[in-house]
Amino acid sequence: MRRHRNVKIVATLGPASETYETIKALHEAGADVFRLNMSHGTHDSIREKHEIIRKLEADLDSPIAILADLQGPKLRVGEFANGEEELVEGASFRMDLDDKLGTVDRVNLPHPEIFQALESGAALLVNDGKIRLKVKSCGPDFADTEVITGGTISDRKGVNVPDVVLPLAALTDKDREDLEFACSLGVDWLALSFVQRPRDVIEASALVRDRAAIMVKIEKPAAVTDFDAILEEVDGIMVARGDLGVELPVQNVPPLQKRMVRKCRAAAKPVIVATQMLESMIESPMPTRAEVSDVATAIYEGADAIMLSAESAAGDYPVEAVTTMDNVAREVESDPTYREVIEASRRAERMSVADGIVAAAREIAETTDIKVICCFTQSGTTALLTARERPRVPIIGMTNMRDTARRLALTWGVNCVMTPQLTRFKMAVVNAAKAARNLGYAEENDQIVVTAGVPFNVPGTTNILRVAPCEESLIYSSDPE
């Protein structure tokens, strides 16, 4: 399905979007990737949504990516005798391992790992940071704190510990079960929560065993500190601004977002900007002006994808939310300033023959009357490198690997077309010309750029670039000699 924009849209599925009709409407409105949130729903309900997406993919003959998002450790306080208490600024409050019901003076925090890592002066944030506590003294089973920002604390509210690296693995027992289940289904991307260090990714990679591409959600200050090392280990990044904005000062998040997007682009790895993008559309058919500006900013920065969470999963207007994102993206990308920003942030990467080929393809396309760049790719790397260049002309990813086509649905500007397995470059050119014509990117008298690797069907061998006329798809009706 041809899109009239380059940035991709990720839509989370949930109670508001679990039928074939609604998921189809979301895809037709602009959703390129569907996110399955493993924090909610049973394995049976996740399987049903997966089957619907694959049926829709077959019906529309359009590669669709599925992203399974693992829950990660959830740190929560225990329960209160009265259900809730009001904490007053300046008051003392204790958290401990005692499983008695909480009072206005203390509550159970059933996570000994937190007490092991805490230090005097560290912050404890409760209920998405609405309550802020400062540790005065602590031990292996308690933390005495001062209430810095008061408010209502109630049963099972979440706790964030931004100032220390916690001795917790990113994968819980539930995550390990969910990971195996998602991989057995055949999801294309697996998102990891609560990552603090590269070894969290390495552990998950050993379990995934190349059955899915791995994405890390950047939501912990420790992950920001170790971002470069984490980026080397993953296939993609999600800037999870919700948790990041809780654990860091909110004013730090926009510049961090910008830097992470640029680093991902330089590494030719897809990056999603997520959380609270059109949150008002959970209940309203129209977004706020600030939300539209936020979506536009992520697009101007060059993000590969922008994501809807509750807006499409549980909101009253899921299709309208996707349509709004699509409209904003198309408007932004038609703005001359967009090209100025994108091209000013381009970094020259000349480390391999493939880097040189894709850079040359972009330069030729932009200095001559070329309509589209067609790149043949086995593993997806050539398409990723081409997308890194952010060319002014469309990109068609040509592959005979269904898994590759699906994963590339997340990548900026790449429209994937399935091809038969080829053995000669001439037939690659013919297939590329046909795809360009069929998708409406070029006509018979137009020219296209084709990149490929010889020998064929070997990952990492991109070494050929050719400018070809689209009429070659008409010249050869069968395999040429």
Rounded to an integer, what distance in angstroms lies between the CA atom of residue 109 and that of residue 75?
8
The C-alpha atoms of residue 171 and residue 444 are separated, in whole angstroms, by 53
Q: Which residues contact 10 (CB under 8 A, 6 or more apart)?
A: 31, 32, 33, 34, 35, 67, 272, 274, 305, 306, 307, 308, 410
Rounded CA-CA distance 456/465 in Å is 14
| Alpha carbon distance 136, 148 (integer Å) | 11
- Residue reference for tokens 């910008």: 258
Beta bridge partners of 108: 96
Q: Which of 94, 106, 217, 437 is catalytic?
A: 217
35 is annotated as an active-site residue: yes
User: Which residues make Cβ contacts (< 8 Å) with residue 373, sequence separation at least 6?
Assistant: 361, 362, 365, 386, 391, 393, 394, 395, 396, 448, 449, 451
- Crossing angle (nearest 10°) for helices 381-388 and 353-367: 50
CB–CB of 272/10 below 8 Å? yes
Q: Give dist(CA 321, CA 316) in Å, integer.
A: 9
Number of other CB atoms surrounding residue 159 within 10 Å: 19
Q: Is 76 a catalytic residue?
A: yes
Q: Which 3 state secondary structure label does DSSP give 382?
A: helix
* DSSP class of 158: B
Structural contact between residues 179 and 117, judged by C-beta atoms closer than 8 angstroms:
no
Phi–psi pair at 149, nearest 5 degrees: -125, 120
Q: What angle do CA 330, 285, 34 make, to 5 degrees?
A: 60
CB atoms within 10 A of CB 302: 22
Among 35, 106, 157, 407, the active-site one is 35
Q: What angle do CA 21, 22, 25 make, to 5 degrees?
A: 90
What residue has token string 């949150």?
Answer: 279
- Tell me which of 5, 8, 132, 275 is the catalytic residue: 275
Question: Is residue 12 annotated as part of the catalytic site, yes or no?
Answer: no
Task: Considering the candidates 3, 24, 74, 76, report the single residue annotated as catalytic.
Answer: 76
User: Which residue numbers are catalytic?
Assistant: 35, 76, 217, 275
